[in-house]
Amino acid sequence: MENKMFCDQCQETAGCTGCTQMGVCGKKPEVAAMQDLLVYVTKGLSAVTTQLRAEGKTVPSEVNRLITFNLFLTITNANFDEDAAIGRILDTLAQKRALLGQVSHAGSLPEAARWDAHGRAAFAGKAARVGVLATKDEDIRSLRALITYGLKGLSAYSRHAGALLQEDAEVDAFLQRALAATLDDSLTADDLVALTLETGKYGVRGMALLDKANTSAYGNPEVTKVNIGVGTRPGILISGHDLRDLEMLLQQTEGTGVDIYTHCEMLPAHYYPAFKKYEHFVGNYGNAWWKQKEEFARFHGPILMTTNCIVPPEDNYKDRLYTTGAAGYPGCKHIPGGAGEEKDFSILIERAKHCAPPAELERGEIIGGFAHNQVLALADKVVDAVKSGAIKKFVVMAGCDGRAKSREYYTNFAKALPKDTVILTAGCAKYKYNKLGLGEISGIPRVLDAGQCNDSYSLAVIACKLQEAFGLDDINDLPIIYNIAWYEQKAVIVLLALLHLGIKDIHLGPTLPAFLSPNVAKVLVENFGIAGIGTVEDDMALFFGEAAAPALTADMRVGEILEGKPEAAQVLMEYGMHCLGCPSARMESLADACAKHGMDVEGVLDKLNG
Ligand code: SF4
Ligand code: SF3
């Protein structure tokens, strides 16, 4: 098993965010180092707040918010701005100084709680010594990293809930206690394994908090067809995960002649009833975060990054890229505003008015909105489909997308799935298969998108409800396979949350996290059945047996379909396609062939797969 801790980008502070893309994020080594120092001083402050709580003293809410925000800022691909990290370090040290004076028993506090300095040079010197590799024991280092990355994911949920003025003091207290524990040299590997699982418990609680915050503010997501084409007016593109930012942007652009489009993880905003009332909320533009260079260039208008994932921008759109919240990029304008404050997006709006409308990337619609409330509304239909055998298995394919070629596995895996399987997804991983036209089963789409990575909670709720509906004692007896794609830290907290819920045999790819030492990986494999992925063929055999027949999809070439399933010729001819012998017709995708012959591609697929 690979255990690569060195990031090619930031050799000395390897693994700053626990990402899998070592060295390709574009974050400069000094930025990665300063973020390591930010995590270090945040852990130090957390040791102080944890001690204060132990002494029965109150920790101010703004300190909780500061700690959560600091962690969130260091998540993969959110913030590339060294000055932003330095500003947070200064604020954190100032808070720590003030609180240290209130601690009665400071003797047992770790070095990080007492360390203090002023200025960039002192920070840089310290930063070089506090990265992940500062912990020498490989297993302790691995567990500390696993907990820290899980907590970074948890901070994302807390921060998003906080933007909607929902907080959970117990989640904050745990987050700080666990952060402080990663500094405690007296803790054994067993202690840290227990803390890892406790992190999963609070992960569920954090996700529930955010779910409540989102649904009470914007209603329950409902089944929605989202336009993926463009209009004729100029637009602003909003990306990331912050729904409150979107709400303010929609309100401020109403009646201005500027349209709003979502990108990547903002797509699920279209599923919320509260946002549907905005006529200028036109659709979703483009795909997952890693394609933004080509897509942002063609959008023509301003782009607002509310959270991760930012790709270092090209010069041809850098001056149209704006950040807000924890996101940041040097040279890009940052829109200020904290939780509960109204942000002013007028600079983007004025800019948009002088921009050309977006260039069309594609046309059509995609469907989503299958969060827990909506799926439970369809529960009878779903349970009937399972009982009748129309749906044999659900495959949870939540998580992250990324540019690595190895991630093509997920597209091929989705295509190869037997036709009686349904994918449950959340996060940007969906872009690997949400435009394949995988069809429906008894009116239930074969890709059920619950929303953002934050909404993975819905998948856990759905699993628990299905367990109830089927009267099963063990959640692992459900016909659900977990094949999760990970990249950044929200996927780590989702994994820990699923483990806390007792879910076993989760497959994680495209590679197992580099920060898992062989011994820590062994614990996860032996106790929870965690596994990596293989080839699509091997995994099909593993999950479904050799006889599984892959479903046909709209993007397959007609020739490919006929080779794998000669009887398809009869169906295609019945629908009006009589040129099957023609080589050029065989080279076309089924979608193109259907469009050309005026055939309903969904109907054809249903018949072919039926
Ligand atoms: Fe390296 Fe990943 Fe950190 Fe970027 S986020 S500096 S690639 S470890
Ligand atoms: Fe995606 Fe960054 Fe993880 Fe939110 S936007 S799932 S990678």
The pick from 6, 7, 30, 309 for probing ligand 1's pocket by mutation, whose C-beta has the most ligand atoms within 8 angstroms, reads 7
- Indicate whether 449 and 341 sit together in one domain: no
The number of the ligand nearest the C-alpha atom of 427 reads: 2
446-450 average pLDDT score? 96
CB of 245 within 6 A of ligand 2: the answer is no
- Separation between Cα atoms, residue 513 and residue 510, nearest integer Å: 9
275 and 159 in a single domain? The answer is no
pLDDT-derived band of residue 3, with 50, 70 and 90 as boundaries? very low
What CATH number is given to the structural domain containing 422? 3.40.50.2030
Reported confidence tier of residue 599, pLDDT bands at 50, 70, 90: confident
Q: Say what percent of the chain tops pLDDT 70.
A: 96
Cα of 35 to ligand 2 centre, how many Å? 19
The closest alpha carbon to 326, from 130, 162, 203, belongs to 162
| 32/130 Cα distance (integer angstroms) | 11
- Gap between the Cα atoms of 156 and 143, Å rounded: 20
**For residue range 381-436, what is the model confidence (pLDDT) as tens digits?**
999 999 999 999 999 999 999 998 999 999 999 999 999 999 999 999 999 999 99
Strand ranges, E, within 390-445: 393-396, 421-425, 440-441, 444-445
Q: What is the pLDDT of residues 272-297, one digit of tens each?
A: 999 999 999 999 999 999 999 999 99
Same domain, 499 and 574: no
Does the pLDDT of residue 550 top 50, yes or no?
yes
pLDDT of residue 34 exceeding 70: yes
Within 6 Å (CB) of ligand 1, which residues are found? 7, 9-10, 15-17, 19, 21-25, 27, 32, 76
> Do 304 and 335 fall into the same domain?
yes
Looking at residue 577, what is its pLDDT?
78
Distances (CA, A) of 498 to 20, 456, 461, 599: 20, 10, 11, 43
Sign (positive or negative) of CA dihedral 110, 115, 120, 126: negative
Q: Which of 285, 287, 263, 590 is nearest to 439 (CA)?
A: 590
Predicted confidence at residue 130, as pLDDT, reads 87
Mean pLDDT, rounded, for 215-232 = 98
Cα 467 to averaged position of ligand 1 atoms, centre (Å): 39
Residues 392 and 501 occupy one common structural domain? yes
User: What is the CA(241)–ligand 2 centre distance, in A?
Assistant: 9
pLDDT at residue 591 in the model: 82
- Of 6, 10, 13, 79, which is best to mutate to test ligand 1, by the most ligand atoms within 8 angstroms of its C-beta? 10
Å from CA of 10 to ligand 1 middle: 7
Residue entry with tokens 């050029």: 584
The neighbouring-strand residues paired with 418 are 550
Asked if the model's pLDDT at residue 534 lies above 80, the reply is: yes
Residue 386, domain extent: 369-544
Residue-wise pLDDT for 74-121, tens only, equals 999 999 999 999 999 999 999 999 999 999 999 989 999 999 998 899
pLDDT at 4: 45
Q: Are residues 321 and 423 located together in one domain of the fold?
A: no
Residue ranges of the alpha helices (H) in 55-116?
61-73, 82-100, 111-114
Buried/exposed code over 584-593 (b: 16+ C-beta within 10 A; e: otherwise): ebbebbbbbb
Please, which pLDDT band fits residue 8 given cuts at 50, 70 and 90?
A: low
DSSP state, 509?
E
Has residue 202 been placed in a domain?
Answer: no
Give per-residue pLDDT as tens, 160-191. 999 999 999 999 999 999 999 999 999 999 99
> Is residue 240 located within the same domain as residue 113?
no
Would 20 be classed as within a structural domain? no
Exposed, middle or buried, 361 (CB in 10 Å: 0-12/13-18/19+)? Answer: middle
Do 343 and 388 belong together in one domain? no
Q: Are residues 99 and 176 in the same domain?
A: yes
**2 band by pLDDT with thresholds 50, 70 and 90:** very low
- Predicted confidence (pLDDT) per residue in 122-159, tens digit: 999 999 888 777 788 999 999 999 999 999 999 999 99
CA of 75 to the centre of ligand 1 (A): 10
Residue from 77, 262, 265 whose mutation best tests the ligand 2 pocket (most atoms within 8 A of CB)? 265
- Indicate which ligand has the atom closest to the C-alpha of 488: 2
Q: What total of structural domains would you count in the chain?
A: 4
Asked whether residue 5 is domain-assigned, the answer is no
Give the mean pLDDT of 565-570: 75
Question: Rounded to the nearest whole angstrom, what is the distance from the C-alpha of residue 24 to the centroid of ligand 1?
Answer: 7
| Minimum-distance ligand 1 atom for the alpha carbon of 77 | 5
Q: What is the model's pLDDT at position 546? A: 59
| CA 583 – ligand 2 centroid, Å | 41
Q: Are 352 and 301 in contact (CB under 8 A)?
A: yes
Do the domain assignments include residue 218?
no
Residues 525 and 592 in one domain: no
User: Starting at the edge strand that comes first in sequence, how are the strands of the sheet with 506-509 ordered?
Assistant: 447-449, 421-425, 393-396, 480-485, 506-509
As a whole number, the mean pLDDT across the chain is 92
pLDDT digits over 202-216, tens only? 999 999 999 999 999
- What's at 328, amino acid-wise? G
Closest CA to ligand 1's atom 8:
15
Same domain, yes or no: 408 and 526: yes
Tell whether the model's pLDDT for residue 312 goes beyond 80: yes
Q: Which ligand is nearest to the CA of 23?
A: 1
pLDDT at 15: 62
